[in-house]
Every structure is written in C-alpha cells, then in structure tokens.
Amino acid sequence: MTTAPDKASERGADRSAVFAPLYRQIKQLLMASLEQGEWKPGELIPSEMELATRFQVSQGTVRKAVDELAAENLLMRRQGKGTFVATHHEPRAQYRFLRLQPDEGGGAPVQSRFLECRRQRATADVAALLELKAGDPVVFVRRLMYFDDVPTVLDDIWLPGAAFKGLTADRLAQYHGPLYGLFETEFGTRMIRAEERIRAVAADGVATELLQVDNGAPLLLVERVSYSYGDRPVEIRRGLYVTRQHHYHNTLT
C-alpha cells in the first residue's frame, strides 16, 4: 500500500488556508446541504462511498464527518439501510425536548390544547432573542398540555412571522404530535438545538386559572430559545410547569 504524497501536500496547503481538518470541511458541506434542503428530514442521503467520490476523499474521512453529525442528532445511521436526515416525526425523537416526567409510572401520552394563535408585533425582548427588530411581525401561540388529563404545562410561544405565515389556530387544532414536527414539515424550519433557563416563580394571574393552582403556588418557569442550522434562533418559549406530580429531568456528564 502506498500513500499519495502529492495529493496530501496539496491538501495540506488547502487545509492551512481553511484552517480546519478535511473531515470538518466535509461536515460543513454536509450541513450546508441539509440547510439548503438537498435532502429533507426523514430522507436517505447518499452512501458513504458516493459521498467520498463526490468530495474526492476517502470513505474514512466521510465516515468521521457523518459520525459527528450523527452524534449531534442531525443524521441517523441505520446499518444495512443507509444514513437518514433526522426528523422530529421519528418515534424515538418525539418529545425529546420535553424534560418533564411523571414522578412515578410511565404515564399516558400528553394532550395539547391550543388556546391562542395570533399575529403580533415583537416586543423589544422577544425581538432581541429572535434576532429581529422590535415591531417586526411574530406569531404568538398559547397552549396548555395535559398529563393524564391534569393541566400541567402552560406554554407561550413566539415565532418569527416571516417564516410562519400560514400558521393558524385551525391548523394547530387539527395537528397532533410535537410542534417541531409541524414546523419541520409545513414551514421548512428544522429545530436542532435549544437553550433553557429554569427558575422557580410564584403563580399569578391567568396561570392560576389555567393550571388550576393557588395564587402564589410555586411553579417552574422554563424559558427556551430554539435554534436551527447555523445557530439561527427560530422559536422562543416561556413555559410554566406544575411540579406536584412531575419533575424536570436532567443528566449531568
């Protein structure tokens, strides 16, 4: 077996210019294709050999790029079948981002009820988080989630108006399953990561009625910003969780 020193040194030059190893460049190219929709959520992407030919690198280099994307939940590998674009419709991906769990028992599936869906102008803080200007159009959604028929989560959601033009109360009412699945299928916006800030607050106002708790009762406040490819913010969520029979679960590693 021989190496190809000419090729290698050419690439060495390229790499010092771009300042990243080859497999990370390949990874960026794959992410660009995902972002531009060359392969849609749930679809099969080309085989490792095909990608190696396309990018003129070895299969091992493609493999390392795909490995990282699979580790980040952007791709899903299935032995014997191929590599697929991750989707929020995948059974095991459902409610991957909802960390509230019943204290004991599996519990019945969650039920959603949409209370509001209307267009607004962004306030300064919402605009800042969504990287818009204050006054830009946003869609506001309020929804209540039931665990075992007990109202447990009250979510207020803000979405960039431009990307979610067709979102209506009717469309939400007839949809079942995770919202991120709807966003991905109907609006071409795939959520891939989120940051949450969690605090304890006292219940008041409309929350006490909707969640059926006393005024001043402790609630978990979960503020979430969700991001799509390229760290583009695509959703803001402000959730109030009742944690009498449930808890927010987290693993530290």
Partner DNA sequence: AAGTGGTCTAGACCACTTT
Partner DNA sequence: AAGTGGTCTAGACCACTTC
CB of 55 to DNA, least distance (A): 9
Any contact of residue 38 with DNA (CB under 7 A)? no
Q: Element (H or E) spanning 77, and its range? A: strand 75-78
* Window contacting DNA (CB under 7 A); options: 42-50, 128-136, 145-153, 178-186: 42-50
Binding residue count for a second copy, defined by CB under 8 A: 35
- Residue 147 amino acid letter: F
Residue of 152, 145, 154, 143 whose CA lies nearest to 117: 143
Distance in Å, CB of 35 to DNA, minimum = 20
Using rule CB under 8 A, residue 249 touches a second copy? yes
* H-helix or E-strand spanning residue 84: strand 82-85
48 membership: H or E segment, kind and range:
helix 48-55
Quick one: what does residue 72 bind among a second copy, DNA, none, with the CB cut-off 5 to 8 Å set by partner type? a second copy
Length of the chain: 253
Site string for a second copy, 152-191 (x = CB under 8 A): ----------------------------------------
Question: Any idea what DSSP says for residue 178?
Answer: -
3 binds, among DNA, a second copy, none (CB under 5 to 8 A by kind): DNA
Element (H, E) at 131: none
Of residues 208, 207, 200, 177, the one with CA closest to residue 248: 200
78 sits near DNA (criterion: CB under 7 A): yes
64: nearest Cα among 20, 127, 5: 20
Please identify which residue in the block is written with the tokens 């927010």.
Answer: 248
Contact residues: DNA, CB under 7 A: 1, 3-5, 8-9, 11-12, 15-16, 21-24, 45, 47-50, 57-61, 63-64, 77-83
Contact residues: a second copy, CB under 8 A: 1, 72-73, 96-97, 99, 192-202, 216-221, 223-224, 241, 243, 246-253
